[in-house]
Amino acid sequence: MSGRLRLGFLASHGGTSMRAIIDAIADGTLAGEACLAISNNRDAPALRFAEAAGVPHSHISATSEGGEEAADLAIRRAMQEAGAEWLVLSGYLRKVGPLTLDRYRGRILNIHPALLPEFGGRGMYGRHVHEAVLAAGRTVSGMTVHIVDGEYDHGPVVAQREVAVLPGDTVETLQQRIAEAEPAFFVEVLQGIATGRLAVP
């Protein structure tokens, strides 16, 4: 599978990986098009970034649409109408609804700040992930790009990269080191998909 990736983004706050991906498209290092950015948070910095970058953007949430099912339908419809063929989750803190999952089955990507299948699942986000890694005494952590399915952090792994847990690491230092590496890794994975070097399960 290769070619120009038509990407839609879902972000709840800053959308750090989304920003890196949009920048990579703009500078020609990623063959793609940013079709639409959606946030469940009306005031998300991700939406302001998308606006500044000239990317279509929208606030869609259960509150704005009158319920979770209506929001799911609105997201699916908006992404389809924008021509998105892949969805990228960038710090999206809501579960993707079944209508969107069905339409984009096998084409929704998320990055998780640990090496799945360990340290994933409901409640495993942000500092909770790194707390669990350190509590388990692991010497290696990392990041995982995976396909999104109906369960938290459960879908097939697309690619992983290890990050060493250093002596004296705290939750904050480990979290910062992985967070700094995630955006470039996500771009690299998308480059692999676009060129056909990386097979998607």
Q: What is the pLDDT of residue 201?
A: 86
Q: What is the mean pLDDT of the chain?
A: 96
- Report residues of the chain scoring pLDDT below 70: 1-2
| Residue 74 domain flag | yes
Q: What is the pLDDT of residue 1?
A: 46
**CATH, residue 80:** 3.40.50.170
Taking the C-alpha atoms of residue 35 and residue 118, their distance in angstroms, rounded to an integer, is 33
| Residue 108 domain flag | yes
Q: What is the pLDDT of residue 3?
A: 75
| Residue 201 domain flag | no
Q: What is the pLDDT of residue 178?
A: 98
Q: What is the pLDDT of residue 2?
A: 52
Q: Which residue range is the domain that position 65 belongs to?
A: 5-195
| Residue 58 domain flag | yes
Q: Into how many domains does the chain fold?
A: 1
Taking the C-alpha atoms of residue 34 and residue 56, their distance in angstroms, rounded to an integer, is 8
Q: Which residues are catalytic?
A: 112
Whether a cis peptide bond, with omega within 30° of 0, leads into 117 is yes
17: left (phi over 0), alpha (psi -120 to 50) or beta: alpha
Q: What is the pLDDT of residues 32-60, one digit of tens each?
A: 999 999 999 999 999 999 999 999 999 99
